[in-house]
Structure 1
Amino acid sequence: MRIAFLVAPQGVEQIELTEPWKALESAGHEPVLVSTRAGEIRAFDHLDKADAFPVDDVVGETWAGSFGALVLPGGVASPDFLRMDPGAVAFVKEFFVRGRPVAAICHAPWTLVEADVVRGRTLTSWPSIRTDIRNAGGTWVNEQVVICADGPNKLVTSRKPDDLKAFCDAVVEVFAAETD
C-alpha cells in the first residue's frame, strides 16, 4: 500500500519520520514523502537541524485518494506550518472522508484539530496539545498509543519519541488490516 507521510518543508522531528517509515517499509508498504513544496524537507532533532529528505509528492499536485493511509510525524514546527496551509489541511481531511487510516504522533494532532476531524474521537499527543484536542471536541488521554475506531476511519496516535516502538507496532498492525 502507498502511504503518505505529510510534513512541512521544515520542522519535522526526524526520528518521528524515519522510524515509522522504516517500520512500514519493512512491512512491505511504499512510504511517500509529501510536503507543501517541492525539493527537500529539513528534519530536526528537537531544535537542532538534522538531515534533509527529498520530497516525492507535493500537496495540490497529488491526490489523497492515491494513498491507502496517512502518517503525520510530529515536531513542533511541522504540524504548525501544516495547519496554516489550506491545501495540507484539505489533504488530511480527505483521508477521514475516504475512511482511510491515519497515524499521528507528538504535535501532529494540531493538524487534525485544524482539519476538524477529532470531534468524538479519543486520542493522545504531546501533553501541550491536550487543550486544543478537548476544545475541538476530542477526548485526550495520557497513554503511550491509542487506536480509535470511533469514526469513519482508524486513528492511531502517540505522545512522543519515547513511544515510537509502540506507535510503529500499532501503525503496522492497523495499516496491515486495511490491506486484508
Structure 2
Amino acid sequence: MSQSLTKKKIAFLATDGFEQVELTKPWEAIRSAGAEVVLVSLKAGKIQGMHHDEEGDQFDVDQTVDSVSANDFDGLVLPGGVLNPDTLRTCDKAVSFVRDFFQQHKPVAAICHGPWTLVEADVVRGRKVTSWPSLKTDLINAGADWVDQECVCDQGLVTSRNPDDIPAFCEKAIEEFAEGKHAKQTA
C-alpha cells in the first residue's frame, strides 16, 4: 500500500455491534497511509465492538451523525457485524449521510454486512458488489450485480465479503480514497 492519504479525512460509520476487526484493521491501514480517521456513530460516548458473537472492546465515538456532513470527509468506511448495519439502516440521518457520499461522488468502502446500509440508501442499483453471503438476495433485490469475490470495486464503491478479505479491502479502499472523486459515481 504505497498510496498516500495525507490531508484526507475518512469517516468510519458504526454503532453497537460492529465486527471489531472490520473497523480496527482498516482504521490502522488508512491512518498509516496518512489519513485522519474519525469514528462517527448514532450517539456520543462509546460503542461496542464484537468478535463475531462475543463482545469485544468499546470504542470512543469522535462525532455523532447529527453533527457531521459528507462534506466534511473525503471517504467513508462501513464495517460489518450483523447488529451494526441493521441498526444504522433504521436511522434516517445515517442513511442520508451514506447517500450523500454517493451524491458527492466520494469513495465508499463497505465490508461483510456493511452493504446493508447501502441497500437502504438506494445506492447499489446497477453496481457490481460483494458482501457476506446472507446479503446476496437483499443486494440483488436492490438492483446490484452480486458476485462472490474477495474485493470488488465499482466506480469508487469498494466491497468485500468477510474478515479474511481485509488485506485486499484495505489496499483497494486506500487506492480509491487516494484517487478521490469519481465522476461516473451517482446515487
| TM-aligned CA deviation for residue 166 of structure 1 | 0.7
1:55 corresponds to 2:71? no
Aligned equivalent of 1:84: 90
5 Å matches for 1:24-103? 24-103=30-109
5 Å matches for 1:31-180? 31-149=37-155, 154-178=156-180
What do the CA deviations read for 1:124-147 (whole angstroms, capped 9, x no partner)? 000000100000011000000001
Q: What SS does the aligned partner of 2:158 have?
A: strand
Query: How far, CA to CA, are the matches of 1:121 and 1:63 in structure 2?
Result: 24
Q: What SS does the aligned partner of 2:118 have?
A: helix
| TM-aligned CA deviation for residue 176 of structure 1 | 1.3
Query: How far, CA to CA, are the matches of 2:89 and 2:69 in structure 1?
Result: 18
Query: How far, CA to CA, are the matches of 2:126 and 2:133 in structure 1?
Result: 19
Q: State the AA in 2 paired with 1:56.
A: D
Q: What SS does the aligned partner of 2:95 have?
A: helix
Q: State the AA in 1 paired with 2:179.
A: A
TM-score normalised over the length of structure 2: 0.92
Aligned length: 174
Q: State the AA in 1 paired with 2:61.
A: V
TM-score normalised over the length of structure 1: 0.95
| TM-aligned CA deviation for residue 172 of structure 1 | 1.1
Q: Which runs of 5+ in 1 are unaligned?
A: none
- Aligned-pair identity in percent equals 55
1:18 corresponds to 2:24? yes
What do the CA deviations read for 1:67-118 (whole angstroms, capped 9, x no partner)? 0000000001100000011110000000000000000000010000000000
Q: State the AA in 2 paired with 1:110.
A: W
Over the aligned positions, Cα root-mean-square deviation in angstroms equals 0.8
What do the CA deviations read for 1:27-77 (whole angstroms, capped 9, x no partner)? 000110000000011100001010011000101111111000000000011
Q: Which runs of 5+ in 2 are unaligned?
A: 1-7, 182-187
